[in-house]
Chain A
Amino acid sequence: MSKSLLARLAAPCLSSLLALNAQAALTEMTDKELSDITGQALLTLDGLTYGGFQYTRLNFGAEIDVLLNMDELRMGEFDRSGLPGLASNQPADILINNFALGRVRNNNNANATIEPFKIQDPYIEFAFKVNSQGVREIAGVRLGFGKAMGYLSGDILSLTGKMQGKIYGPASLGKDYYMQQNGLNDFTCTFNINCLALSLAGDTEVYATVELLQQGTGNKILNGVPVNRATHIGIPAGESLQTDATGLIASLIPTLTMASNCSALGLTTCFPLTNYKSIFVGDPSNQNNINLGGAQGIFFSLQNQNVPWQDLANIGQFVETQRGAFANFAKTGSGANTAYPFVLTLFDALRGTAREPTCMGSQAAGC
């Protein structure tokens, strides 16, 4: 080997060492400082048992900022004929085109900047179960995040799992939408019972939890199990808009807005998942701090039966799943402390949300 070759081989190594020295500014730790550090590691391994299952979770300590684009995410593509809960003829449990994490602000001019999706402490977990012959089998595997925050985009063609968001806004938004959809004006509105009811509700703030459901019926349970391969989301049949306001009209809102067959007060309450091109995962009022605003408990899993995965956002709770692929974007907490993985204004829920650009240049997606 020639000297020049050796020199060239050594160059990258030396330059990296020099760069590391310059950047690191390492200083010796004192004995006291050293003695204060115990049991810390990049990786930890946790075990638990529940409901006849054994679990082993490998936690990875990391802070990740990322912008990614994907042509297609496809999980659980198998024949579901004869299995309960099938809500559509989609070929896979999870099927998302142009999937993206993060967004690009001012995408089509020189001020374009990346706003990354933030992930904290991802983990991978296996579930095991001893079968009736006494053989210990692998029952499931999941990939999850300690916390996550940012824009998630895609053309969601099929989704199985839990996706619970909050929609909120003044009832007057519903009235505006209703009038527009039914060709009414302020005068003719007074002769339409639904429109009149929405008018009386005025600016009363209303909200509802939206969930995956079956198109047409609004059912979130089919054949005794949660729907799978859902193509729609909305207010499930039998549920309604809620309000914290008091007074006669406010007290009537839950009854007036009871959803049935994807309709309440003449308003559509089931929406194609493809209408929601982008959702903000986490608390939008704390967008700069994942520790405060990050959504917890998000995971993607594959299992051969109903594996109850530990809910890392709610101590003492387990998330029921079903055979196949499963995505968990469930709300956490309860009452005033409820935190939703995504929040939409009523206006956006009624009309859908456009895609946040995830590419630079004029192409919003598919780069």
Chain B
Amino acid sequence: MRSSGLLLGLPLLLSSAWAAAMQALDDIELDAVNGAGVGFFLDGFLYDQDSAMARIEGFKDSSGNPVTIQLEDSYIKGQGSQRGTLDPLANIGTPLHPFRLGVRNASEIPSLPAGTEVLQLATPTWTDPLNDTHHYGLWAYYQGCLYGEAGCTNPDLAVGRLNSNLSALTSRQTALLQRYASVGFLTLKQGIDTDMAQLQTRQQAVDAATAQVQQARSVMEARYAAAPNNNKPPLGQKYDCFIICTNSNIRAYNDAVDDWTAKNEALMNAQIALSQVWQTQRHGYSLSQRSQDYTEFASLCGEPTSQQPTCSGGRIAKMEGDRASLVLVSTSLKDGKTRVPGIDLGFGAEFSVPSTAWSGSASNATRGATTTRADFFSLNIEGFTLHGSYVNLWGNAAGMLGELSMQLYADKLILGACRTCTDANRFVAKNVYLDLNLGHGTLQPLSFSMLSDGELRFRLPGVTWANYQQFYAQVPKSNISIVNLSLSNVNLGAQAIRGLRVDYLDMRTVNLPR
């Protein structure tokens, strides 16, 4: 194991010989600094596990058999290390763009409740478009290929692709506006609300009828169990008694079947009545169609505030805003500017895992013996940056609270299952962008707690009737995208989750096996 050239900078406390931009503060300047926290960076370093081995134990399979993991060849180096085989030095932060750990308050962070102070860990932030992960990650998604590779040297591909998507959305907007041009969207909304009130009433009737069916079925099942076995029909069918049933249990069961059948019929009628509301016609369109159209328009353009609304928000406005980011990035690239190099990191691992052999047809396979399998697995990440990420932590009577924003970008993420092979045998994801935002200090603080049984709990409070307008305007969404995924040289294209917001979350860990 070896490391090289480690330099830890504490800009407020130390002066670094390397960091020419740093200057000593005079007494007046020092006096003005209060609670500014600590900045740090790692400059010119590398980590290489080399031939050393590390072992992880304690994992088990679902049957309780031990699983052993042997780590090998782990490394952290500068970008261009060729999967750790070369030794370019890595930089995590710089004197001008350090990681920051410090106390911040609500006057500095608008999402926090008034009077709240938090402990914040923030990664380096950059304002130029190539190193601002929001701008670059978005551009990389629309660009559709890894910039600099063959066929991907035109930075304007991203803008062209966005324009094409935007055109499709505005066509839908125009079509919906034309459909209700003589009606107006406020009038359309009034009609939907009126019909929805009737829908809710009928939904309640369906709920009540469902409960009655369930109750009737329970009675029927109990009486079925008590009925004699001689010539017993299937559950739900009556005994054939010709004219009269002499056995009281049979009569009771047959009555229960009649009641269950009647309740089912009532449920069906309630469902039909409910469904018919969706067919209520206004302006030539059913409630179902009107509701879909209104929802689609609101999704495209934001909630209509006039009879002939323009796009004030929604996906179209968002996409138009995105275009500005793409232009900034493509302009910078055409000007010959470059990104600050990221880091490369990776590891290999050998898993010793119990494996059960199955054989036979896919519809009727047979379980065979369980033996121990030795699996190789590797992970490599190239050009990895975390610019613009932060986590804010604070506490109150509810426990530890937080909000986090993770801005992760990597040129490539490679998973392998072979020691001696090429990327043609691996999982290769390009332009990987994780824009993950969880929690909002005021409207949805993320809480962490430990339950009395030792399990962990993570909660994001739900949106409420009292705060939903602020919630939807302020709680940030998340995006995850891979521009190109290749699985062992088979192209599986782009994968994306766009505009994800978790409106409520309650997650409790559970010990396995259950």
Please give the distance in Å from B374's CB to the nearest CB on chain A. Answer: 10
Whether A66 lies near B399 (C-beta < 8 A) is no
A 18-38 binary contact with B (CB < 8 Å = 1; else 0): 011001111000000000001
Distance of A306 from chain B, by nearest CB (Å): 10
| Chain A residues closer than 8 Å to B291, beta-carbon distance | 354-355, 364
| Contact of A202 with B by CB under 8 A | no
Q: Are B196 and A138 in contact (CB under 8 A)?
A: no
A291 to B415, CA, bound (A): 35
Q: Which listed segment binds A: B16-24, B71-79, B361-369, B404-412?
A: B361-369
> Closest Cβ of chain B: how far from A362's Cβ, in Å?
7
Contact for B462 among A20, A114, A302, A362, CB less than 8 A: A114
A71 CA to B500 CA in the complex, in Å?
Answer: 6
Partner of B367 from the list A277, A316, A325 (CB cut-off 8 Å) is: A316
Say yes or no: A59 contacts B512, CB within 8 Å.
yes
From known contacts A24-B452, A304-B490, A351-B288, infer whether A44 and B59 are also in contact, taking CB-CB under 8 Å: yes
Residue B496 CB within 8 A of the other chain: yes
B508 touches A62 (CB 8 A): yes
- Give the chain B neighbours of A112 by CB distance below 8 A: 464-465, 468
Q: Please provide the chain A residues from 309 to 367 with a CB less than 8 Å away from any CB of chain B in the complex.
A: 310, 316-320, 323-325, 345, 347-348, 351-352, 354-355, 359-367
CB neighbours (8 Å) of B416 from chain A are 138
Interface positions of A from 51 to 92, Cβ below 8 Å from B:
51, 54, 56, 59, 61-79, 92
8 Å CB contact of A363 from B275, B303, B493: B303
Contact for B512 among A43, A126, A135, A351, CB less than 8 A: A43
B496 with A12: CB separation less than 8 A: no
Q: Which of A102-110, A184-192, A231-239, A251-259 contacts B (4 or more CB under 8 A)?
A: A102-110
* Contacts A2-B34, A169-B268, A316-B364 given; does A44 touch B61 at CB 8 Å: yes
B182 in the interface, Cβ–Cβ < 8 Å?
A: no
B498 and A131 form a contact (CB under 8 A): no
| CB pair B315 A12 closer than 8 Å | no
B495 within 8 A of A: yes
Report yes or no: A74 in contact with B494, Cβ–Cβ below 8 A. Answer: yes
- In the complex, the chain B residue whose C-beta lies closest to that of A358 is B503
Asked if B505 and A78 make an inter-chain contact with CB atoms under 8 angstroms apart, the answer reads no
Interface size on A, residues (CB 8 A): 114
Chain A contact surface mostly: mixed
B375 at the interface (CB under 8 A from A): yes
Near B by CB (< 8 A), chain A positions 97-119 give: 97-98, 102, 106, 108-112, 114, 116
For the complex, is A269 an interface residue (Cβ under 8 Å from B)?
no
Known: A47-B355, A50-B359. A351 touches B417 (CB 8 A): no
CB of B126 within 8 Å of the partner chain? no
Contact A69 B501 (CB under 8 A): yes
Instruction: Across the interface, name the chain A residue whose C-beta is closest to B486.
Output: A304
What is the CB-to-nearest-CB distance from B473 to chain A, in angstroms, rounded to a whole number?
Answer: 10
Structural contact, B487 and A140, CB atoms closer than 8 A: yes
On whether the beta carbons of A61 and B450 are closer than 8 Å, the reply is no
Query: Nearest residue in A to B493 (C-beta to C-beta)?
Result: A78
Cα(A97)–Cα(B169), bound, Å: 12
Check A61–B512 contact: CB distance below 8 A.
yes
Chain A residue contacts of B308, Cβ below 8 A: none
Q: Is the CB of A367 within 8 A of B288?
A: no
With contacts A54-B355, A72-B497, A303-B487 taken as known, whether A318 is within 8 angstroms of B365 at the C-beta atoms is yes
New contact pairs (12) apart from A76-B495, A78-B492, A109-B465, CB-CB < 8 Å: A5-B103, A13-B119, A24-B451, A39-B60, A50-B357, A65-B507, A69-B500, A112-B465, A114-B504, A348-B275, A351-B275, A362-B189
A-B contact pairs, 7 of them (CB 8 A): A11-B117, A19-B400, A20-B450, A62-B508, A70-B498, A112-B468, A366-B300
Q: Which 9 A-B pairs have the closest CB atoms?
A: A366-B299, A78-B493, A71-B499, A47-B355, A15-B395, A39-B64, A304-B490, A16-B400, A40-B511
